[in-house]
Every structure is written in structure tokens, then in C-alpha cells.
């Protein structure tokens, strides 16, 4: 029973209440909101380079100014207080705190995050820090300089080692105050959109390099987990996690061929991360499916043990389900080794401004799958939300009933999963602010707070006020 179902006897909707202690948050990422791209010693990331490359980002938008969060920290924390979140998930910009991707930290860069974390704590909000949300220092993507091993991006092992060093620096600086650390956000996007389909930075279209990138991101997660544990004060209650954008997959038809299409995408989108991190192994079928691209010799002895170091929770980002069938896909595909075997079919139903189908059952399916496959692993929904073409009306109000409906159905799906035994401890709405939506630039608005990018004026949308009520009452009515 959820708030969206009528009670079978009374015909009225029963209120939905989440367990005491459930975390309610919003999420953002550094490059998408901070701006201040050249201030206080920050150097370019791969997204600065990519967004400046003609034709890569809609309207030629860049994150140079974004939502100017770097200069509006206090105002944005006041917004978080107004919404009443218990937790705030943000990411640390690697090129801001370690400008060349190696060597000592920039104190000016760290100071920004110290101020953010201290202000959150003062406001009674738990800081949830992601170390990597796609802004690799450009210097680590560019080919190595003479005499150096650093460079070449995630397809190179050295990048994972550099990441562990960066994690240690940030952990040592903020480890006494951050409640939850997430090593990586959506490594699938970093590896496969970045290096296979090339629609994200750094824009490479080399499927074999993308598979190497996926392994080195896994390794980076494992090495960073170890580095964080070493950097945190003894007895620290901080939790360590990883956030994946797992695909909720469905076959178009219930046939062996379509079920095989599901298996193939499941291997290269989900199990490529889940199996090494939680079971210390590579998916055998993925190794077979990609044999024409690589022999996986870049996986060294001991890597899988490092990658599977225990973590305290798994974050799941969910937006929509994916329907597949036996067939072919356009290339360059973000799913190496599948383009001549798998086709993608638009899921039915209403759509968001991203043209993504609205289907909350996919979230329920993912959470209950993880309940069964990873028993005992606490789960968090670390992103969920929707883009719509919001605007301020003449009175200045921003009405977004479709977003409220989207959020309501997805929060109800989380509740349903909890009732059915999924250990979900929190929900983070994406996103607090309208922001730089990667290759779509500023054309897509995911915020519950509207940002007028010409003036940087913030306006709470109806969905922010609605979410504040959900948090206040601990559920849906």
C-alpha cells in the first residue's frame, strides 16, 4: 500500500510513513553548480576542456559560472534549511583541491569544502561527500609528460593510484566532519559515456579503453576506500560507500533472445561494478562477450581483493528503466561488445524533459533485486528526480506539478521496497538547484530550486515546498 493506492476498503489513500531515522536529502555535484572555474588555484578538469570543444555541449554552455554556488554558499545552505533536509550530498572538485592531480593539496581549495561542511554541521545537516563526480583534472587525462607516469585518463592504472592519493588528502582534511564518503558517482557514465560513446568528457570513442577505464575506476574505488580508512581518525563513525547508476532492465518480449539482451547489458552496465566490488570477481559472461576487444590482462593479481574491500552502504541513482531486445544499436555505443546484439526500445508512458520515461516500478525492482543479491548491504537512493521545462510565472512562482507527481511516485516506490524488506536508509533528491546538465548544458532543469542563470536568483519551486512537507511529516499523505 502506498499513498498513490486507494485503500481497498475505504477507498481513501493511506498515509505512508518512513522508518524513524530515515535520511532525507538533496544532491548536487561540483562542476554542475560551483562555477568559479579559475578561482583560488583551480585548474581545468576534463569537463572544462570538453565543454569548450565546439559541438560537445548544447549551446556551447560551460560550467564556468554554473549556479555560482562557490560564491553563494550561505544562500544555498539557507535553502537547504528551508527545505528541511537531514543530509546534503555534494561532490568535491578534484582540480580545486589538488590542481595538478598529484602532489600536495591546495589549502584554498580545501577551505571551501571546510566552510561548506562546517556550515552544514552548524545547520544540523549531515554532510555526504562524493570524491569523484566526473571532473578529472585535465592534467591526468592528457598524455603523460616526459618522465611522468601520470596521464592518459581512466584507461590508465596510474589514474586510480592518483585518485587514492587525492582521497587521502581530502579524508585527512575533512575526515573528522563528513558523515558519509562516496568514492565515485556513477562510474558507468565516467567509463562508458566518457570513453566508449564519447558523449561525455573526455569524449573518446574507444570501447576497449572504456573497459580498461571501468576496471581502473573499480580499482580507484578500492584504493580510495583503503586510503580513506587510513586517513579517518581512529574510531570515526564515518561511513564509506559507492554510488552506481544501476540499470533497471526489462526484455521487450519474454523470449530467450530478449532475455539474453538483458543479460548482456546487465553485465556491462551493472555487474561490471557489482561483481568486483561485492564479490571480488569479474563477470565471466562479460569477459566472454568482450573477448574481441580485450583479454582483460590489465586486471592484475590482487586487484579484485582491493576492489572488494568492505564498504558500509551502496548508493543507487535511478531515473528510468531500460527496455532491450535482440537487435542492433547505433555506434559508438556506450555498451562495449553489444552493438550488434542488443537494441534499445523506448519504454512506454509519460516522459520528462529529457525524454526519459516516468516509471517508478523500475526503482522498486532495483531495490528489491539488491535486497536479494546483496543481503545485509545497506542501501541509499543517492539520486532520483526529473527535468521539466520550468519557468517563473509573472508573479515569480514556479509551478512544477509534474515533478511533484514524479517524486511522489518514486518516494512511494522506495517505501514499498522498504516494506518488502529492502534495507533503504535514505533518499536524496536530484537536485537542489537547476544546474549544468552535462552535454545538455543549462537546457534541462532538474532542481527543486529554480535558478535564473542571468541573475542567479533562486526561487523555491512548488516541488521544494512539497518535499519540505514530506520531510516534515516523514512520508507521504
Instruction: Closer to ligand IFM by CB, 173 or 428: give it.
Output: 428
Which H or E run contains 344?
A: strand 342-345
The rounded distance, in Å, linking the Cα atoms of 228 and 376 is 22
Given the residues 139, 141, 383, 402, the one annotated as active site = 383
Among residues 186, 266, 365, 400, the one that binds ligand IFM under rule CB under 6 A: 186
SS3 letters for 297-329? CCCCCCHHHHHCCCCCEEEEECCCEEEEEECCC
Rule CB under 6 A: say whether 383 interacts with ligand IFM.
yes
Calpha distance 89→87 (Å, rounded): 7
Judging by DSSP bridges, how do beta strands 321-326 and 342-345 pair with one another? antiparallel
Minimum CB separation of residue 47 from ligand IFM in Å reads: 11
Could you say whether residue 34 binds ligand IFM (CB under 6 A)? no
Q: Does 437 bind ligand IFM (CB under 6 A)?
A: yes
| 451 forms part of the interface with ligand IFM (CB under 6 A) | no
Indicate which single residue of 2, 317, 333, 409 sits in contact with ligand IFM (rule: CB under 6 A): 317
List the alpha helices (DSSP H) in 332-393. 361-373
Burial 391-409 (b: 16+ CB within 10 A, else e): eeeeeeebebebbbebbbb
29 touches ligand IFM (CB under 6 A): yes
- Taking residue 157's Cβ as centre, other Cβ atoms within 10 Å add up to 18
Query: Three-state DSSP class for 461?
Result: strand
CB 129 within 8 A of CB 90: yes
How many residues form the binding site for ligand IFM (CB under 6 A)?
Answer: 8
Closer CB to ligand IFM, 294 or 317, in the complex: 317
Indicate if 383 belongs to the active site: yes
Report the alpha-carbon distance of residue 12 to residue 28 in Å, rounded: 36
Nearer to ligand IFM, 106 or 317 (CB): 317
Instruction: Between 241 and 306, name the residue whose CB sits nearer to ligand IFM.
Output: 241
Task: State in angstroms the smallest separation of the CB of 442 from ligand IFM.
Answer: 12
Is 442 a residue that touches ligand IFM (CB under 6 A)? Answer: no
Instruction: Note whether 273 binds ligand IFM by CB under 6 A.
Output: no
CB of 346 vs ligand IFM, minimal distance in Å: 17
Q: Is 68 in the site for ligand IFM (CB under 6 A)?
A: no
Shortest Cβ 437–ligand IFM spacing (Å): 5
| 281 three-state secondary structure | coil
Q: Residue 445: which residues within 8 A CB-CB, separation 6 or more? A: 353, 387, 388, 389, 390, 434, 437
The answer to whether the beta carbons of residues 437 and 356 sit under 8 Å apart is no
- Asked if 75 is an active-site residue, the reply is no
CB of 232 to ligand IFM, least distance (A): 26
> Shortest Cβ distance from residue 230 to ligand IFM (Å)?
28
As a whole number of angstroms, the distance between CA 189 and CA 217 comes to 11
Nearest approach, Cβ of 402 to ligand IFM (angstroms)? Answer: 16
Q: Which residue out of 139, 156, 186, 437 is catalytically annotated?
A: 186
Radius of gyration of the chain (CA): 21
Question: How far apart are CB 431 and ligand IFM at their closest, in Å?
Answer: 7
Query: From the DSSP assignment, how many helices (H) and strands (E) are in the chain?
Result: 17, 15
SS3 state at 27: strand
227: contact with ligand IFM by CB under 6 A: no
**For helices 462-473 and 401-419, angle between their N-to-C axes, nearest 10 degrees:** 30
> Which residue has the closest beta carbon to ligand IFM?
29
Which one, 175 or 467, has the nearer CB to ligand IFM?
467
Of 405-434, binders to ligand IFM (CB under 6 A) are: 430
Which helix (H) or strand (E) element contains residue 452?
strand 449-452
Catalytic residue ranges: 186, 383
* Binding positions for ligand IFM, rule: CB under 6 A: 29, 32, 186, 317, 383, 430, 437, 446
Amino acid at each position: 500500500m502506498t499513498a498513490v493506492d486507494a485503500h481497498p476498503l475505504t477507498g481513501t489513500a493511506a498515509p505512508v510513513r518512513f522508518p524513524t531515522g530515515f535520511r532525507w536529502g538533496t544532491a548536487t555535484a561540483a562542476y554542475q553548480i560551483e562555477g568559479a572555474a579559475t578561482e583560488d588555484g583551480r585548474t581545468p578538469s576534463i569537463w572544462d576542456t570538453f565543454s569548450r570543444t565546439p559541438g560537445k555541449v548544447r549551446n556551447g554552455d560551460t560550467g564556468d559560472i554554473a549556479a555560482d554556488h562557490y560564491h553563494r554558499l550561505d544562500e544555498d545552505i539557507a535553502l537547504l534549511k528551508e527545505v528541511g533536509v537531514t543530509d546534503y550530498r555534494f561532490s568535491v572538485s578534484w582540480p580545486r583541491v589538488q590542481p595538478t592531480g598529484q602532489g600536495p593539496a591546495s589549502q584554498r581549495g580545501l577551505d571551501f569544502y571546510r566552510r561548506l561542511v562546517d556550515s552544514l554541521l552548524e545547520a544540523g545537516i549531515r554532510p555526504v561527500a562524493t570524491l569523484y563526480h566526473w571532473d578529472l583534472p585535465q592534467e591526468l587525462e592528457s598524455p603523460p609528460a616526459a618522465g611522468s607516469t601520470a596521464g592518459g585518463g581512466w584507461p590508465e592504472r596510474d589514474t586510480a593510484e592518483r585518485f587514492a592519493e587525492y582521497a587521502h588528502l581530502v579524508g585527512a582534511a575533512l575526515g573528522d566532519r563528513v558523515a558519509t564518503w562516496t568514492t565515485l558517482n556513477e562510474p558507468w557514465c565516467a567509463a562508458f559515456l566518457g570513453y566508449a560513446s564519447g558523449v561525455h568528457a573526455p569524449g573518446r570513442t574507444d570501447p576497449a579503453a572504456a573497459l580498461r577505464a571501468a576496471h581502473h575506476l573499480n580499482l580507484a574505488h578500492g584504493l580510495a576506500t583503503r586510503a580513506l580508512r587510513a586517513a579517518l581518525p581512529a574510531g570515526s563513525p564515518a561511513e564509506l560507500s559507492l554510488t552506481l547508476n544501476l540499470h533497471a532492465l526489462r526484455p521487450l518480449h519474454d523470449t530467450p533472445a530478449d532475455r539474453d539482451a538483458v543479460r548482456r547489458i546487465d553485465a556491462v552496465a551493472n555487474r561490471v561494478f557489482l561483481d568486483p566490488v561485492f564479490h571480488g570477481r569479474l563477470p565471466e559472461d562479460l569477459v566472454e562477450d568482450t573477448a574481441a576487444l580485450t583479454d582483460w590482462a590489465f586486471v592484475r593479481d590482487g586487484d579484485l581483493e582491493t576492489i572488494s574491500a568492505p564498504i558500509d552502504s551502496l548508493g543507487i541513482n535511478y531515473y528510468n528503466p531500460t527496455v532491450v531486445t535482440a537487435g542492433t544499436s547505433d555506434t559508438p555505443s556506450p555498451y562495449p561488445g553489444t552493438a550488434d546484439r542488443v537494441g534499445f526500445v523506448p519504454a512506454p508512458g509519460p516522459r520528462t524533459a529529457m525524454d526519459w520515461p516516468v516509471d517508478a516500478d523500475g526503482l522498486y525492482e532495483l531495490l528489491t533485486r539488491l535486497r536479494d543479491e546483496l543481503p545485509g548491504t545497506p542501501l541509499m537512493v543517492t539520486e532520483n528526480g526529473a527535468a521539466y521545462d520550468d519557468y517563473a510565472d509573472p508573479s515569480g512562482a514556479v509551478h512544477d506539478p509534474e515533478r511533484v507527481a514524479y517524486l511522489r511516485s518514486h518516494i512511494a516506490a522506495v517505501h514499498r521496497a522498504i516494506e518488502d524488506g529492502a534495507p533503504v536508509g535514505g533518499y536524496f533528491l536530484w537536485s537542489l538547484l537547476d544546474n549544468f546538465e552535462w552535454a545538455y548544458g543549462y537546457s534541462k532543469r532538474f532542481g527543486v530550486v529554480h535558478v535564473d542563470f542571468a541573475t542567479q536568483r533562486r526561487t523555491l519551486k512548488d516541488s521544494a515546498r512539497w518535499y519540505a512537507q514530506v520531510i516534515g511529516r516523514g512520508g507521504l499523505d
